[in-house]
Structure 1
């Protein structure tokens, strides 16, 4: 009978794994109270906690291919220079991804009912497609144009070749029937600049480096302690700094 109660090494290993990572419920790892319900032998130790990941740098809408394409394109629009990092290092593609996953991507705060007419440039976008749809089409066509011209993916091109592909979109030299090439480029360019200089809370401007390049103080709570003093350089603050207090 004693032999029947012994657990084989495989079950012991599985139980130890579950204790150290949390129960797996519906595909999600759950720790905390549920994890503490599993019995633990005295000689077994819990693995030390690892440093928390930055979950703000995680995809919410893009596929990995779309993200890589956006990262490469935005880097050419806002390249790294001596003055500071470019779009890739600033996390601009994450910013755009998060915006497309939210109200901006759904055009949630805009009137989107028919009839639809081609508006003047001063009127802004007047179409039926949501921004997330425009990005889906635009990125796909950007890749297609790259394959047509160079037989290579956009991410495999040299910098000057990527610039030429983007310029074709900017100057409406790509024949598209679903979206305006220049309209997509302008939307991508605007989103790139917003991602470089927005509050890091929204995924871009990593480490506030975009602000540091411009000596911009960011989201300060008040200036009452320095307003009557000589000019001084202020370390920028993010909205995240205030949320943590």
Structure 2
């Protein structure tokens, strides 16, 4: 659900503090085998994500998929409402999430390169995976356009010009499947957008998000350590400076 109000921020803080699933599952293994494809190569990754500062775990950001700056701006506003900046730490924009999503849409994930994409297509249940005939980059194109057109229907204004609470209402309508879309349900688009946002927050910085490893730092996640031989027997929580893939 899109974040807003103090209650929503409290929920986010509890999420950051308690979500061992994100730290141990998405960051540690499941995410790297899911949204992020197998194209990563430390010697060639600059072609797909820009050059990387291995000392600070940051990637120089460049758009690879979005050629329309207005669409990219809509994406920026949407992901920031899903993962906003607050007293806990930086939000999606400061963490580079829009560029992470852009890079993934330009790659094998965005093209559904590893998935069977032939018909017939039928509406899926909530327990099934991706069911749309649209490739993910096509889904994001349609979804982003619909975010803007639905905002003008509902509030007579562009999505990027709405107040934050109004943007939340639009996103909640997408989440609740109240918006008609071509080729997929609005809930499908919202779920893909929300998942990609969180993955951009916690993925290795080599993929364009999690700038300066701030997503990891908020959870005290150590990143990719060669070993924990000096900490494994400690009976106290050990703070470890995080390392990304390009640290080695």
- How many residue pairs get aligned? The number is 191
Q: Confirm or deny: 8 A CA contact 1:56 1:202 kept in the other structure.
A: no
- Any gaps of 5 or more consecutive residues in structure 1? 1-51
Are residue 73 (structure 1) and residue 50 (structure 2) matched?
no
Are residue 60 (structure 1) and residue 64 (structure 2) matched?
yes
Cα distance in 2, alignment partners of residues 181 and 224 from structure 1: 47
* Aligned twin of 1:23: none
Shift of 1:55: 6.1
Aligned positions of 1:24-35 closer than 5 A: none
Q: Confirm or deny: 8 A CA contact 2:59 2:206 kept in the other structure.
A: no
Shift of 1:225: 2.7
Are residue 117 (structure 1) and residue 110 (structure 2) matched?
no
Shift of 1:230: 4.7
- Select 1:185's aligned residue among 183, 190, 201: 190
* Aligned twin of 2:225: 220
Shift of 1:153: 1.4
- Select 2:216's aligned residue among 199, 203, 211: 211
- Any gaps of 5 or more consecutive residues in structure 2? 1-51
Structure with more contact order per residue of length (Cα contacts < 8 Å, sep ≥ 6): 2
Rg larger in 1 or in 2? 1
* Aligned twin of 1:236: 242
TM-score by length of 2: 0.73
TM-score by length of 1: 0.74
Cα distance in 2, alignment partners of residues 176 and 198 from structure 1: 29
Are residue 102 (structure 1) and residue 107 (structure 2) matched?
yes
Q: Confirm or deny: 8 A CA contact 2:134 2:183 kept in the other structure.
A: no
Are residue 143 (structure 1) and residue 148 (structure 2) matched?
yes
Q: CA RMSD in A?
A: 1.7
Cα distance in 2, alignment partners of residues 134 and 72 from structure 1: 18
Cα distance in 2, alignment partners of residues 229 and 70 from structure 1: 43
Shift of 1:178: 2.7
